[in-house]
Amino acid sequence: MRRLLFLILPQLLATGTCDTSLGPQQEGKHEGEMLSHWSYEDQNWGKDYPLCNGNAQSPINIDTGKATVDKELPSITFEGYNLKETEQLDLSNNGHTVQLSLPDSMSISRGFKQKYLASQLHFHWGSDTSPGAEHTVDGTQYAAEMHIVHFAAKYESLANAAQEADGLAVLAILFQVGAQDNKNYKHIFDKLQDAVEGATIKIPGFDINTLLPSQLYRFFRYNGSLTTPPCFQTVTWTVFNETVLISQVQLDKLKTSLKTGHRTLDSNFRQVQPLNRRIVFASFSSLTSSRRIGDTLAVIFGTLFGCTALAFAIYVLKQKRQRSNAERGQKVIYKPAATMES
């Protein structure tokens, strides 16, 4: 076990990623062969990476009905996410995903008990026959998923933080297909075809905030693991409830642009793992936001309608009374015609 981690850690340091244990360059080399030999087709990773058999693995299915509502969970606030164009980011295809490096000047300033710094973001997707998100919600697998990986500032690097219980915070964004291209993702998706396996291309910095959903206060939170070997159980997961829309064309680009070896890099998602005794928290109750707004509108319109009906009833009654007064030959002070015009 110790030896295994010893072999893996230098790779984490070298590639600056916790997403792959070994860079593609190592594939096929003798010492690295056994360790690098993991794939999404055979997800029995526990043989070579025992931690993958742990009892707090990711991804999971989120059962929204069983989630524990905790409205004290603070909404997430970012700092430095709006990157300057002069800041060059590395986009690379490591054979398991496409990954964008992020500078540690980007951080989550509020939302956790401690500060987390950004390291990279990457994607998980399906194939022409299957969606490819990792987390499922009430059994639904969404089209694709993005992970923004952060490490606790106190550990100073991703490699140091990766094995600490509170070391990592990963934000998960689920994608659905919408009618239009999501222009915020063009920075990344327009470059996918250039991301040859093992190579790194540069893309100019942009506002990473634009990749996120708008309701950052609605999310699920649980303790889990990396979704790739070595499966360290050191991730505090945040899965946003609001999905982000991308077009079918953009999703197809993700599914078909990248190659690993001679094949298309697709279906790079791990199967959902048992929840075991873990609790999933929700920062909201299902009756908030859209449904609550709907209820409020119903009350407002109901009240307005009620008032109008009451006013009309009073008017009708007054009319009746005046008519009967007039019939009895009493002096009419009130002129119904004038009332009707007003």
Ligand X SMILES: *[C@@H]1O[C@H](CO)[C@@H](O)[C@H](O)[C@H]1NC(C)=O
List interacting residues with ligand X (CB under 6 A).
Answer: 64, 137-138, 174, 221-223, 241, 243, 279, 281, 286
If the CB atoms of residues 279 and 298 are measured against ligand X, the closer one turns out to be: 279
Task: Please pick, among 37, 96, 187, 262, the residue that the annotation labels catalytic.
Answer: 96
96: annotated active-site residue: yes
Smallest gap, in angstroms, from Cβ of residue 66 to ligand X? 11
Distance CA 5, CA 21 (A): 10
| Residue 61, beta-bridge partner list | 136
Smallest gap, in angstroms, from Cβ of residue 221 to ligand X? 5
Smallest gap, in angstroms, from Cβ of residue 150 to ligand X? 15
Distance CA 121, CA 160 (A): 18
Instruction: Report CA 2 to chain centroid distance, whole Å.
Output: 33
| Residue 130, beta-bridge partner list | 127
* Paired tokens of 184: 């915020």
Which element (helix H / strand E) includes 224? strand 219-224
If the CB atoms of residues 149 and 174 are measured against ligand X, the closer one turns out to be: 174
3-state secondary structure (DSSP) of residue 3: helix
* Alpha-carbon distances of 236 from 33, 157, 293, 329, rounded to whole Å: 31, 16, 31, 84
If the CB atoms of residues 95 and 131 are measured against ligand X, the closer one turns out to be: 131
If the CB atoms of residues 241 and 250 are measured against ligand X, the closer one turns out to be: 241
If the CB atoms of residues 21 and 136 are measured against ligand X, the closer one turns out to be: 136
Smallest gap, in angstroms, from Cβ of residue 292 to ligand X? 12
Smallest gap, in angstroms, from Cβ of residue 287 to ligand X? 9
Per the CB < 8 A criterion, the answer to whether 41 and 265 are in contact is no
DSSP labels, 94-124: -SS-EEEE--TT-EEEESSSS-EEEEEEEEE
Per-residue b or e along 212-222, where b marks 16 or more CB atoms closer than 10 Å to that residue's CB: beebbbbbbbb
Per the CB < 8 A criterion, the answer to whether 101 and 89 are in contact is yes
* Paired tokens of 180: 């239009």
Token pair 């009756």 is at which residue? 287
Smallest gap, in angstroms, from Cβ of residue 12 to ligand X? 22
* Paired tokens of 135: 């987390």
If the CB atoms of residues 116 and 222 are measured against ligand X, the closer one turns out to be: 222
Instruction: Tell which residue, 216, 230, 232, 87, has the closest CA to residue 151.
Output: 232
If the CB atoms of residues 161 and 203 are measured against ligand X, the closer one turns out to be: 161
Smallest gap, in angstroms, from Cβ of residue 281 to ligand X? 5
Q: Which residues are tagged catalytic?
A: 96
